Amino acid sequence: MNKPQILIVEDDNAVANLISATLETQDYAYKRAATGAGAVMEALSCKPDVVLLDLGLPDMDGVEIIKKIRSWSNMPIIVVSARSEDFDKVSALDAGADDYL
């Protein structure tokens, strides 16, 4: 059986390392992207089973990334963000995110 493939989209290396280490303990395969452009490219090329997405990236907002991915795929997108305002949660979910942590 193939390992589930997860795309981690996070520009903070410490946070990305923590998520990666956690996924490794559960035997998941993963790819990482630190920019919105990189995230869209990786999502197109590797077609992950799920995307873990931070909203605050240096080149584009996470909501924009969700909209781009949703224009061609229904892959699950889970927002993992320190932003705790209701506006951010509603925007991400309205754009097509499946969950917000």
The secondary element (H helix, E strand) that includes residue 62 is helix 62-70
pTM of the predicted model as reported, rounded to 2 decimal places? 0.95
Parse the chain into domains and list their residue ranges.
5-100
Q: Over the stretch 24-45, which tens digit does the pLDDT of each residue have? A: 999 999 999 999 999 999 999 9
Mean pLDDT value across residues 17-26 = 96
1 DSSP 8-state letter: -
Q: In what order do the strands lie in the sheet with 50-53?
A: 29-33, 5-9, 50-53, 77-79, 99-100
Per cent of the chain over pLDDT 90 is 94
Question: What's the DSSP call for residue 13?
Answer: H
CATH (residue range 5-100):
3.40.50.2300
